[in-house]
Amino acid sequence: MDRLSAEARSRNMARIGAKNTKPELHVRRLLHRLGYRYRLHLRGLPGRPDIVFPARRKVIFVHGCFWHRHEGCRYSYHPKSRLEFWSAKFARNVQRDSETAARLQDAGWEVLVVWECDIRERPAEVERQLTAFLGPPRRAVAPDGRRSGSQ
Protein backbone atom coordinates (compact mmCIF):
# COMPACT_ATOMS: atom_id res chain seq x y z
CA MET A 1 0.00 0.00 0.00
CA ASP A 2 1.28 3.43 -0.93
CA ARG A 3 1.85 5.89 1.92
CA LEU A 4 0.69 8.80 -0.25
CA SER A 5 -2.73 9.49 -1.70
CA ALA A 6 -3.13 8.96 -5.45
CA GLU A 7 -3.17 12.73 -6.01
CA ALA A 8 -0.03 13.33 -3.92
CA ARG A 9 1.81 10.47 -5.67
CA SER A 10 0.78 11.85 -9.07
CA ARG A 11 2.10 15.33 -8.16
CA ASN A 12 5.33 13.79 -6.88
CA MET A 13 5.91 11.71 -10.00
CA ALA A 14 5.03 14.60 -12.34
CA ARG A 15 7.84 16.68 -10.80
CA ILE A 16 10.52 14.17 -11.79
CA GLY A 17 12.24 15.66 -14.81
CA ALA A 18 14.00 14.03 -17.72
CA LYS A 19 16.54 16.80 -18.32
CA ASN A 20 19.10 18.52 -16.12
CA THR A 21 19.00 15.91 -13.38
CA LYS A 22 21.64 15.97 -10.65
CA PRO A 23 23.58 13.04 -12.16
CA GLU A 24 23.45 14.64 -15.62
CA LEU A 25 24.65 18.00 -14.28
CA HIS A 26 27.49 16.25 -12.45
CA VAL A 27 28.65 14.55 -15.67
CA ARG A 28 28.35 17.80 -17.63
CA ARG A 29 30.45 19.70 -15.07
CA LEU A 30 33.05 16.92 -15.11
CA LEU A 31 33.23 16.94 -18.91
CA HIS A 32 33.57 20.71 -19.02
CA ARG A 33 36.31 20.65 -16.37
CA LEU A 34 38.17 18.04 -18.44
CA GLY A 35 38.07 20.34 -21.47
CA TYR A 36 35.27 18.73 -23.50
CA ARG A 37 32.59 20.80 -25.19
CA TYR A 38 29.25 19.33 -26.15
CA ARG A 39 25.65 19.91 -27.15
CA LEU A 40 22.60 18.97 -25.11
CA HIS A 41 19.45 17.00 -25.97
CA LEU A 42 19.64 17.30 -29.76
CA ARG A 43 16.15 16.87 -31.16
CA GLY A 44 17.23 15.33 -34.45
CA LEU A 45 18.77 12.26 -32.81
CA PRO A 46 16.84 9.20 -31.63
CA GLY A 47 16.12 9.39 -27.91
CA ARG A 48 17.44 12.96 -27.61
CA PRO A 49 20.72 11.95 -25.93
CA ASP A 50 21.65 13.87 -22.79
CA ILE A 51 25.10 14.88 -24.07
CA VAL A 52 26.13 14.97 -27.73
CA PHE A 53 29.53 15.38 -29.38
CA PRO A 54 28.57 15.99 -33.02
CA ALA A 55 32.10 16.19 -34.45
CA ARG A 56 33.07 12.93 -32.73
CA ARG A 57 29.72 11.23 -33.54
CA LYS A 58 29.41 10.18 -29.91
CA VAL A 59 26.56 10.48 -27.43
CA ILE A 60 26.21 9.94 -23.69
CA PHE A 61 23.07 8.96 -21.84
CA VAL A 62 23.03 9.54 -18.09
CA HIS A 63 20.61 6.92 -16.78
CA GLY A 64 18.93 6.81 -13.40
CA CYS A 65 19.24 3.29 -12.00
CA PHE A 66 15.59 3.16 -10.86
CA TRP A 67 13.96 4.27 -14.11
CA HIS A 68 16.29 2.48 -16.51
CA ARG A 69 16.66 -0.71 -14.43
CA HIS A 70 20.38 -0.95 -13.81
CA GLU A 71 20.76 -4.67 -13.34
CA GLY A 72 22.10 -5.70 -9.94
CA CYS A 73 22.05 -2.14 -8.58
CA ARG A 74 20.62 -1.36 -5.14
CA TYR A 75 18.94 1.78 -6.53
CA SER A 76 17.02 -0.34 -9.02
CA TYR A 77 14.46 -1.53 -6.48
CA HIS A 78 10.89 -2.41 -7.38
CA PRO A 79 7.95 -0.51 -5.83
CA LYS A 80 5.75 -2.59 -3.55
CA SER A 81 2.41 -1.35 -4.89
CA ARG A 82 0.93 -1.60 -8.40
CA LEU A 83 3.41 -4.30 -9.41
CA GLU A 84 1.81 -4.94 -12.79
CA PHE A 85 1.93 -1.26 -13.75
CA TRP A 86 5.55 -0.81 -12.69
CA SER A 87 6.74 -4.02 -14.33
CA ALA A 88 5.21 -2.97 -17.65
CA LYS A 89 6.58 0.58 -17.35
CA PHE A 90 10.10 -0.59 -16.58
CA ALA A 91 10.00 -3.13 -19.42
CA ARG A 92 8.99 -0.38 -21.86
CA ASN A 93 11.81 1.87 -20.60
CA VAL A 94 14.44 -0.86 -21.04
CA GLN A 95 13.09 -1.78 -24.49
CA ARG A 96 13.08 1.88 -25.59
CA ASP A 97 16.65 2.36 -24.33
CA SER A 98 17.80 -0.67 -26.31
CA GLU A 99 16.01 0.45 -29.48
CA THR A 100 17.38 3.99 -29.16
CA ALA A 101 20.96 2.78 -28.78
CA ALA A 102 20.57 0.46 -31.78
CA ARG A 103 19.14 3.27 -33.95
CA LEU A 104 21.99 5.59 -33.00
CA GLN A 105 24.61 2.92 -33.69
CA ASP A 106 22.99 2.10 -37.04
CA ALA A 107 23.28 5.80 -37.90
CA GLY A 108 27.02 5.76 -37.13
CA TRP A 109 27.00 7.12 -33.57
CA GLU A 110 28.87 5.62 -30.62
CA VAL A 111 26.81 5.37 -27.43
CA LEU A 112 27.91 5.43 -23.80
CA VAL A 113 25.60 4.97 -20.83
CA VAL A 114 26.69 6.43 -17.50
CA TRP A 115 24.74 5.10 -14.51
CA GLU A 116 23.61 7.19 -11.56
CA CYS A 117 25.13 4.80 -9.00
CA ASP A 118 28.55 4.99 -10.66
CA ILE A 119 28.45 8.78 -10.47
CA ARG A 120 27.60 8.57 -6.76
CA GLU A 121 29.90 5.75 -5.72
CA ARG A 122 32.74 5.62 -8.26
CA PRO A 123 33.36 9.12 -9.67
CA ALA A 124 36.99 8.38 -10.57
CA GLU A 125 35.85 5.37 -12.61
CA VAL A 126 33.28 7.55 -14.40
CA GLU A 127 35.99 10.07 -15.27
CA ARG A 128 38.20 7.27 -16.64
CA GLN A 129 35.27 5.85 -18.61
CA LEU A 130 34.45 9.25 -20.14
CA THR A 131 38.03 10.01 -21.21
CA ALA A 132 38.45 6.50 -22.65
CA PHE A 133 35.22 6.89 -24.62
CA LEU A 134 35.90 10.42 -25.88
CA GLY A 135 39.66 10.49 -26.34
CA PRO A 136 41.62 13.69 -25.72
CA PRO A 137 39.75 16.99 -25.69
CA ARG A 138 40.06 19.06 -28.85
CA ARG A 139 41.77 21.90 -26.98
CA ALA A 140 43.79 21.47 -23.85
CA VAL A 141 42.79 23.43 -20.76
CA ALA A 142 45.54 24.59 -18.42
CA PRO A 143 45.05 24.06 -14.66
CA ASP A 144 44.32 27.78 -14.27
CA GLY A 145 41.44 27.47 -16.76
CA ARG A 146 43.12 29.16 -19.73
CA ARG A 147 43.07 27.41 -23.08
CA SER A 148 46.24 26.49 -24.86
CA GLY A 149 46.63 25.85 -28.59
CA SER A 150 44.83 23.13 -30.56
CA GLN A 151 45.84 19.53 -30.19
pLDDT range class, residue 151, cuts 50, 70, 90: very low
**Which of residues 82 and 35 earns the better pLDDT score?**
35
Distance CA 61, CA 47 (A): 9
Is pLDDT at 150 greater than 50 in this prediction?
A: no
Q: Do the domain assignments include residue 4?
A: no
Q: Which domain holds residue 145?
A: 18-150
Q: Do the domain assignments include residue 143?
A: yes
Per-residue confidence (pLDDT) for residue 138, from 0 to 100: 77
Q: Do the domain assignments include residue 133?
A: yes
Instruction: Give exposure, 99-130, as e/b (b: 16+ Cβ within 10 Å).
Output: ebbeebeeeebebbbbbbbbbeeeeeebeebb
Q: How many structural domains does the chain have?
A: 1
pLDDT range class, residue 76, cuts 50, 70, 90: confident
Q: Do the domain assignments include residue 6?
A: no
pLDDT tens for residues 103-139?
A: 999 999 999 999 999 999 999 999 999 999 999 987 6
Q: Is the CB of residue 59 less than 8 Å from the CB of residue 51?
A: yes
Distance CA 3, CA 134 (A): 44
Q: Do the domain assignments include residue 8?
A: no
Q: Do the domain assignments include residue 84?
A: yes
